[in-house]
Each structure stands twice: as C-alpha cells, then as structure tokens.
Amino acid sequence: MALKTEEMILNMGPQHPSTHGVLRLELQLEGELIVNVVPHIGYLHRCFEKHAEAMTYPQVIPYTDRMDYLASMYNEFGYALAVEKLLNIEIPERVEYIRVIMGELQRIASHLVAIGTYGADIGAFTPFLFCFRDREKILSLYEMTCGARLLYNYIWVGGVSHDLHPDFLRLTKEFIDYFRPKITELNNLLSYNKIFIERTANVGILKKDVAVNYGITGPMLRASGMKWDLRKDDPYSVYDKFDFDIPVGDGRMGTVGDSWDRYFVRVLEMEESLKIIEQAIAQIPEGDVTSAIPKRIKPPVGQVYSRVENPRGELGYFIMSNGTPNPFRIKVRGPSFINLAVINELCKDLLVADVITILGSIDIVLGEVDR
Amino acid sequence: MGLLDKQFNDENIVITKVGDLLNWARLSSLWQMSFGLACCAIEMMATSASHYDFDRFGVIPRPSPRQCDAIIISGTVTLKMAIRIKRLYEQMPDPKYVISMGSCSNCGGPYWEHGYHVLKGVDRVIPVDVYVPGCPPRPEALLEGLLKLQEKIRNESLVKKSA
Amino acid sequence: MKNTEEIFNLLKEKFGEAIIELKADQPVEAFITVNPLELDKICKYLAETDELKFDSLMNLSGVDEANGESTKDEEGNLTITGGTLSVFYHLESTSLKHKLTLKVSAPRENAEVTSVSEIWKCADWHEREAYDLIGIKFLNHPDLRRILMPYDWEAGHPLQKDYRNPEYYQGMKVPY
C-alpha cells in the first residue's frame, strides 16, 4: 500500500469577511503550504467605460466617484485634470488649493480605513473602531462643504461646485490638532504590538525590480525601498509649492518590502498629509471658484494620458476625444487592478493565514479593480 | 423595545401570547450576514462602528450564512455575483429576511441604462422585505430601514401565512 | 531625457519598415504607429537599450476605432464591418524620466497583436482585459481568457461600438 499526496483546492469565495469586497481567490494547497494563488475578479464589473461613452463630459464625474469609493475626491481630481489638459484651460489658484486640501483629507480618510480593516483581519478589532471614530470627523468636514459623506460630485472640470463654508478652515485646523496625538495612540496600540509584528514582519517580501516590472505603484512600491511619488517626480496642480517628505520602507522590523513596511508607510503618509494641509491653509488665496467652468465642453480631436497619486498608487486616465460632447473612449488605469496581479508571486510557500495578511497590506478596493 | 421588557419592572410574572413572545425574541437580536459588495458596504461598516452603533439594536455581523437571520445586500449586484447570492440565500435557515440597501440593489441604480453586466434590482433573484433608498443611504436611513423590518416582524403571526 | 522625435529617428534607423509614422499634430501627446506583428522586438529594444531604458509600462488600452462601414437595420441596431481595432501603449522610464506612446492597429475581423507580457509582466492582465472587452487576440500570451465578464459569456465583446445586449443570461433578464 503506497501513500500518495494530492493537492487540495480551497476556494476563498466571493463572500468572505476578509477579502475587502467581492474577490475570489483559488488557493492550490499542499497541506497548509501554498503552491499557487489564482485570483478571479469581475464580480463588481459595473461597465464604467461604456457609460462614459454615452454621457457628456460633466456627466461622467458621478461615475468616476463610484469606482474607488474610498478615495472619491482623488478620482474626480484625476479626471478633471485630464479633461483640463485636453481643453487647455487655466483655473484659478484658489481652486487648486481647495482641491489639494480635499485630496489630502481624503488620503487620511482612506488610510484610516485601510489600517482599521487590516487590524480587523489580523484579529485586532479595537483599532477598527478607533479609526472609524476619527474618520467620522473628516466626513463631517466634507458634509459641511458639499452635502455628501462618501460620494461627492464636488470637483468639476474647471473648478469646484461650491466654495468653502466660512468655518471650514478653522474646523480643519482644529481637526489637525486633534488628530496628531491620535497617530501616536495608534502606533502604541497596533504598530509596535508584538503579536502584530510577528504576524506581519518578513511576510510577503516584494523586491524593488520585481515591483517595477509588475507596474506596482503607491505605498507598495515605496515600502520596497524605491522613492517614487508622483507628487514629487511628476508634479501636478500646486504640489511643487509644499514642503513634505516621502516615507520609504526600511525593513526595521524584518526585511525591506514586507507587510509591516507596507502598513507603516501608510501611517507615516498620514503625518505628511497633515503637514501639507497646514501649509495649504496658510497659503490659500481668495478668489472665485466657479468662474472657469466652461458652459459646454467640446474638446478638439486628440488624446491625453494624465495621472495622479491616489492613496493606492498611480491612477491614470486615458481619454480619446473625437470632437463631440461625448468622450470617444475613456480607459482608467486603476492602481488596485495592477497591484493585485502580483499576489501569486508574494504568496509562494507561505501558510494560508498569510494570504490574508498579504491581501490586507496590498489594500485593494474592488470598485477600482473591476470598474 | 417596549413590549415585554418594561413590564418586568413591576412584577416578576408577565403574561403574553406565544406569537408576541416569539416575535419579540426574533426582532431583538437580528444577526446579519456581512455581505458588503460596493460603496454601500462602507456606510454599513460605518453604521456598525461606534458613532451610529448597530449593536444597541441587537444586530451583530456574522460571517457565515448558516448562522444569521438577515442579509443586507449593500452595493451593486452584477450578473456574475447574482448566481452566488441565490446560493447564499438558499443556505440561510428559516425565518430569514432581506434588506436591500442602496439604489443599485433596489433597481439597478445609476447603471440602469447602459450596464450590460448589472442586474437591475436584486429582487429579480431573491425576495426582498425592506428597500432602503439612497446612493449611498446615510447610516440613519439604514437604521430606519432596520426599524421598519422590526415593525414587520412584530406583526407576524404563527397562524396566518406571510406573503 | 529624449523626446518623441529623437526616439522615432532612433527606431526608424534600427527597424525601418516596421515603424509606420509619427503623429504629432493633435493635442495633447504625440504617438508612434508601429506594425502589430513586430511589436515584441521593438519593445524588447526599448526596454533593454541603455539610452532609452523603458522599464515600466504605465498603461495599455484597446480602442474600437469604428472607422469601417456602419449599417443600421430596421430596428436601429448598428453593425460595423471593416475598419480597425487599435491598442495604445504608454511607456515610461523611471531612471531617465521620459515617456513614449505607441499605437498599433489591426483589422477588425481578425485582430492579432504580439504580446509584450514577457518583457513587462504588468501587461498580462491588461491584455486579458483588452481581449475580453474589445476582442483583440494577443499571440504568445500565457493565459488568454476572459477576466471581467463571466467565463461563459457568449454575446461578444462589450466595448465594441456595435455590441448588443442579450435578453437573458442564465435565467435573469438583462435589460432594464
């Protein structure tokens, strides 16, 4: 009688509490060790590109919100920049500063969700509640400006839809003073916790040249040791007027490019965003915010590819126009779509529980993967 | 919620009907399956966080369909996902309730016209009890939908068949 | 840092016939059109030469140009015959900080383009998506199958301009 071994296929199905949405991972296991991970996506494919061909240019903005629903301001920002490049119009400086403030607040809110749900996946439930408590303060700032908590339709081509509320800048300064000590509290609770470090250090190591070949961008690339941020390397809007640093992973708890580095880069980025918001509040000029919004958008025949730095990576919009008020083709280069493709490389020879650690540190949003 | 628990303050004996007792037990601890699909899932998570607490109504998120009473479909239902939703619904034990949260699962939402892969309303595959409108609905709107579901359960009867 | 004209001249010297033209008169960006079946050799040269060093593929998008003959039948349904389907490549160099846009076009009935997923692994999923939604086949791709639509979707490639929705899919009504 001979003993034989067989590979087992385990399905982490579309409904799972830790997959951050509807993602199906097919794990081919040998005992508890992983041989292969095959992701199946498309469970949230909402046909954004077909809708964009049927709507006019301003009507596409609510649809761009809903792609990456945790960082909606940045989706609108990227689209507005792309169309403004195609139309070649100048926008008032106050609008640029408002967009930067909204974008950086959105970056903090998005990183709070990423950190909170990452802790919940690993097993620490309390940081989830702490992060959501702080996020509610940011959402009430947004609600004061444009009326919505999650999907805003605020940044339009050529400007923004409403000017800031008279109390907005004062309340944002109070939020910054409230939030700074909370980052220290979060570090004491989660980042330097021994169990968290044991779970995440040396797990899922991503090397720098593999990352560039796979097209990885954002905090994942910075955690592997490469200092690449579109706000400094290919500046857009008024980011070249601010003084801030780019945090890079340095492997202090394990190796460079492991999951702890990817998590900690996000915590450090929240601090840098606070610096940018403070400088923007000090420098913002007066002006009119709706004066440059064109009445009818009909760009010339041509195409443009423009990109911004989403909280998850490089968000790119490729817009082709044929002279009509409807876009001919819009293709969105979603960072989560590209970042997810590397998961097979990262999970080789690890245990099943490490798949969840790695997936949480990649920080995907299924709305952007499937569009 | 006002029916039976207030009466315990005066005496130790409460007299009620079996139907009311069962309904009170069911509506006070609706365990829901955490089924977040898209943007509405973030609002559902915010409802279960500490600002608008879900837990004070007795609602806990459970990961497995075999252990829950209610399912909150939050987010767009695509054709690829609808087959799996039907399977999950059939795995839930009776009595089960469905809350459809957000425009996308009510009727297709903003994707009704050109969405070739979007199911226009989750009631094309499973029966729905409460519809909560909004895109996304505020956490207070979801809590109101939950209270309406509790009303519906309160009026159920063991003898008459429900619709 | 090189601009598109200098790169065009370099490529024309090395590959001759395969480089078709440089179009620089439309806003906003200039692009180089190349032959679809020679694409992998050109991209290997672009990625490995020291003075160009394009080590990162930013974006790959398929486009249905709808430049063939379009006919409408009695119900208003559009059908397009002839014309081309194209793919746009946006390349970047992280060390030398320059960018390039390439375009390839293939006939609509049998669109075939060589795959670049050996050179940049990033292109793997992008090409699967272009196959799924537009219908362009990539030769030598390791695993070309649908990625966003269900695996048994029979009704065609959705982002083509003359796509029509099926009535029912596995018992569910598709239109509103």
pLDDT digits (tens, 9 = 90+) for A55-108: 899 999 999 888 889 999 999 999 999 999 888 888 889 999 999 999 999 999
State the average pLDDT over residues A299-324.
90
Residue A213 lies in a domain: yes
Candidate from B79, B108, B119 with C-beta closest to C150: B79
3-state secondary structure of C31: strand
Q: Which residues contact A174 (CB under 8 A, 6 or more apart)?
A: none
Whether C58 and chain A come into contact, CB under 8 Å, resolves to: yes
Which residues does chain A have within 8 Å of residue C124's beta carbon, measured at their own beta carbons?
341
pLDDT for A108:
93
Q: How many Å lie between the alpha carbon of A51 and the closest alpha carbon of chain B?
A: 6
C-alpha radius of gyration, chain B, whole number: 17
Is the pLDDT confidence value at B2 over 60?
no
Instruction: Give the C-alpha separation, A39 to A43, whole Å.
Output: 12
Span A20-45, pLDDT tens digits: 788 899 999 888 888 889 999 988 88
CA nearest to B109 within chain C? C176
Altogether, the residues listed in chain C come to a count of 176
- Under 8 Å CB pairs connecting chains A and C tally to 83
Q: How many Å lie between the alpha carbon of B71 and the closest alpha carbon of chain C?
A: 21
Q: CB C172 to CB B116 under 8 A?
A: no
Q: What percent of chain A has pLDDT over 70?
A: 100
Determine which of B32, B43, B51 to mutate to test the interface with A (most A C-beta atoms within 10 Å): B51
State the average pLDDT over residues A326-351.
90
Candidate from C163, C169, C176 with C-beta closest to B79: C169
Tell me phi and psi for residue C31, to 5 degrees.
-135, 160
Residue A292 lies in a domain: yes
Instruction: Give the C-alpha separation, A27 to A35, whole Å.
Output: 8
Is the pLDDT confidence value at C166 over 70?
yes
When pLDDT is cut at 50, 70 and 90, the band that residue B5 belongs to is low
Is the pLDDT confidence value at A110 over 80?
yes
Domain around A288 = 59-154+164-351+358-370
Rounded to the nearest 5 percent, the helix, strand and coil shares of chain A are 50, 15, 40
Determine which of A47, A84, A305 to mutate to test the interface with C (most C C-beta atoms within 10 Å): A305
Give the alpha-carbon dihedral of B87, B89, B94, B96, to 10 degrees: 180
SS (H, E, C) A9-66: EEEECCCCCCCCCCCEEEEEEECCEEEEEEEECCCCCCCHHHHHHHCCCHHHHHHHHC
State the average pLDDT over residues C156-167.
84
- Say which CATH number the domain at A344 has: 1.10.645.10
Is the pLDDT confidence value at B153 over 60?
yes
Q: Which fold would CATH assign to domain C4-159?
A: Beta Polymerase; domain 2 (3.30.460)
Residue A10 lies in a domain: no
Lowest mean pLDDT among A236-240, C14-18, C33-37, C136-140: C14-18
Residue A2 lies in a domain: no
Residue A35 in contact with residue A28, Cβ under 8 Å?
yes
State the average pLDDT over residues A198-202.
88
Token digits for C86? 């194209």
Instruction: Give the C-alpha separation, A52 to A63, whole Å.
Output: 8
The residue behind tokens 């809903």 is A66
Token digits for C40? 């992998």
Q: Which residues contact A262 (CB under 8 A, 6 or more apart)?
A: A219, A220, A223, A249, A361, A362, A363
When pLDDT is cut at 50, 70 and 90, the band that residue A274 belongs to is very high
Q: CB C125 to CB A314 under 8 A?
A: no
Altogether, the residues listed in chain A come to a count of 371
Q: CB C173 to CB B124 under 8 A?
A: yes
Candidate from B42, B81, B117 with C-beta closest to A22: B81
Residue A3 lies in a domain: no
Q: Are strands C56-64 and C84-92 parallel, antiparallel or unpaired?
A: antiparallel
Span C79-121, pLDDT tens digits: 877 788 889 999 888 888 888 888 888 888 888 888 888 888 8
Residue A11 lies in a domain: no
Closest CA to A99 of A243, A303, A308, A336: A308
Candidate from C28, C61, C64 with C-beta closest to A85: C28
* Helix or strand (DSSP H, E) at A365: none
Whether A320 and chain C come into contact, CB under 8 Å, resolves to: yes
Give me the helix-helix angle, A93-122 and A168-186, nearest 10°: 30
Tell me the pLDDT of chain C averaged across its residues.
Answer: 84
Tell me the pLDDT of chain A averaged across its residues.
Answer: 89
The total domain count for chain A is 1
pTM, full prediction = 0.91
3-state secondary structure of A118: helix
Q: CB C165 to CB B82 under 8 A?
A: no
How far is C-alpha A210 from the geometric centre of its chain's CA atoms? 21
Span B45-100, pLDDT tens digits: 888 888 888 888 989 888 888 999 899 999 899 888 888 899 999 999 988 899 99
Q: CB B42 to CB A113 under 8 A?
A: yes
Is the pLDDT confidence value at C25 over 80?
no
Q: What percent of chain A has pLDDT over 90?
A: 27
Is the pLDDT confidence value at C148 over 60?
yes
Span A210-227, pLDDT tens digits: 888 888 999 999 998 888
Candidate from C56, C59, C94 with C-beta closest to A305: C59
Lowest mean pLDDT among A92-96, A127-131, A263-267, C22-26: C22-26
Tell me phi and psi for residue A318, to 5 degrees.
-110, 110
Altogether, the residues listed in chain B come to a count of 163
Token digits for B69? 């009473």
Residue A287 lies in a domain: yes
Instruction: Give the C-alpha separation, A254 to A261, whole Å.
Output: 8
pLDDT for B1:
46
State the average pLDDT over residues B148-157.
87
When pLDDT is cut at 50, 70 and 90, the band that residue C4 belongs to is confident
Residue A48 lies in a domain: no
Candidate from B79, B83, B120 with C-beta closest to C176: B120
Residue A187 in contact with residue A329, Cβ under 8 Å?
no
Torsion-angle region of C171 (φ positive above 0: left; ψ -120 to 50: alpha; else: beta): left
Instruction: Give the C-alpha separation, A139 to A155, whole Å.
Output: 16
The interface predicted TM-score of the complex, written ipTM, equals 0.91
| Strand residues in A290-338 grouped as ranges (E) | 302-310, 313-321, 329-333
Q: How many Å lie between the alpha carbon of A190 and the closest alpha carbon of chain B?
A: 18
Q: CB B117 to CB C172 under 8 A?
A: no
Q: CB C163 to CB B116 under 8 A?
A: yes
Which residues does chain A have within 8 Å of residue C120's beta carbon, measured at their own beta carbons?
213, 215
Instruction: Give the C-alpha separation, A50 to A54, whole Å.
Output: 7
Span A142-152, pLDDT tens digits: 999 988 888 88
pLDDT for B4:
61
Which residues does chain B have within 8 Å of residue C163's beta carbon, measured at their own beta carbons?
116
Contact partners for chain A, using 3 or more CB pairs closer than 8 A, are B, C
